[in-house]
Amino acid sequence: MNFNFTKEEELFVEEVKNFIKEEKKKSNADDVFAPNREADAQTKIDSPARREFMKILSSKGYLGMSWPKEYGGKEKPGIYDYILNEELCRVGAPSPGKGVGSIGQTIIHHGSNRIKDEFLPQILAGEIDFALGYSEPGAGSDLASLKLKAEKKDGGWLINGQKIWTSSAHVADWYWLAARTDPEAPKHKGISVFLVKMDDPGIEVHPIETVGEHATNSVFLTDVFIADEYVIGDVNNGWKYICEALNYERFTFYTIAPLEQKFKELVELINKLSRDGTPLNKIPEIRKKIIYLYADVQKAKVLQRKVLSVAIQDEVPQTEAAVFKLFSTKLHQKLANEAMDILGREGLFRKECQDSHANGKWEWSYRSTLVDTIGAGTTEIQKNTIAKKSLNLPL
């Protein structure tokens, strides 16, 4: 199995690296490139500078590269979307994400002509951002149990209920919302997907503080009216679209670059510091920790490449993706934990402390990496997927 990029793909890697190098020279680079933001770094387009960066990506032709030419894309293989996302994630820049990926692709395959005409050009131009309205207080990992109610009215639907863990709700322009349109149907039936303007007066966004300072929200919808034109595809067929949308992200979601970058920075820090006059990189116990971490990072890279190798064949790497996510998110936590042990008491200093190493990166990382084990399917869900799909174990 060959995990190496082709010559053309390698050239594209260099092209993106050079593009990033030039963008980092701009006066707003500290806002655009934010690798220390952990989970927020690649998901939030929450400042004028980061919004403008998306438009720059559009002007370079980097948005929707794998889309059909009919809708403004280039029909490139999905691996190019992956390469772009990998390099952007490495430096904490906002990436094309769900607008170009799951939402844009779902609109292409199932949206009405009106929806396509309204949204696809704006997505390719980097002009709009979306929030995903899936999880609810009683329907997180078991998304099919959602209860947000959509009641049919003349010309549209009246929405009432609550969503939770909507990370982009405070900055997004549109809500990609899953709601129950048939309460009598089995739980995987009777779900529809809507597009809702986030500035609707019936929408209230309430921030939720998390241990890792990850920005997320609870969203309350009260008598929000959605016209029939903003239903995606067929009514009551939303579960299919939600599942398909997750598959569309398979080239961009599973990146290894942030893990590689974090390990690199830890090694660089250890090479600079000493303890009682002895360089940290000469202490046997620390050297052993670093060697084992390096081996784990390489394992994660192979697991990630396996996800790609399956996806490139236009198959859904469900088990491979579960194995990679389980291993890599645990490794992010392990890396932060080992870093704090190596650095000693200074590793516990928060970023606001004057004597903290790397602006408190490792204490922050220790808290923030908890988010990674929850988002996009919890650790428990990944284990269940592996048990059921790969090992044929009963659940």
Tens digits of pLDDT across the chain (395 residues): 556 788 999 999 999 999 999 999 998 888 888 766 554 444 567 778 888 999 999 999 999 998 999 999 999 988 898 889 889 988 888 888 788 888 998 999 999 999 999 999 999 999 999 998 988 887 666 666 788 999 999 999 999 999 998 888 888 999 999 999 998 888 788 999 999 999 999 999 999 888 877 778 999 999 999 999 999 999 999 988 888 777 666 556 668 888 898 899 899 999 998 888 899 999 999 999 999 999 999 999 999 888 888 877 777 777 888 888 899 889 999 999 999 889 888 777 777 777 777 777 888 888 888 877 877 777 888 888 888 888 888 86
Q: Is 392 left (phi over 0), alpha (psi -120 to 50) or beta?
A: left
Which residues, at least 6 apart from 128, have a Cβ–Cβ distance to it below 8 Å?
Answer: 99, 119, 122, 173, 174
Q: Within a 10 A sphere around the Cβ of 295, how many other Cβ atoms?
A: 10
Tokens 């209860």 sit on residue: 147
User: Is the C-alpha dihedral spanning 139, 144, 147, 149 positive or negative?
Assistant: positive
SS3 annotation, 114-178: HHHHHHHHHHHCCCCCEEEECCECCECCCHHHCCCEEEEECCEEEEEEEEECCCCCCCCCEEEEE
The SS3 assignment for 393 reads coil
End-to-end Cα distance, the chain: 32
User: Is the C-alpha dihedral spanning 177, 202, 41, 339 positive or negative?
Assistant: negative
| pLDDT for the residue numbered 41 | 44
Give me the domains of the chain, ranges plus CATH numbers.
Answer: 7-129 (1.10.540.10), 131-238 (2.40.110.10), 254-390 (1.20.140.10)
| pLDDT for the residue numbered 196 | 96
| pLDDT for the residue numbered 191 | 92
| pLDDT for the residue numbered 140 | 61
CA distance 197 to 243: 23
Whole-model pTM?
A: 0.84
Comparing CA positions, the residue from 178, 182, 197 lying closest to residue 136 is 178
| pLDDT for the residue numbered 357 | 74
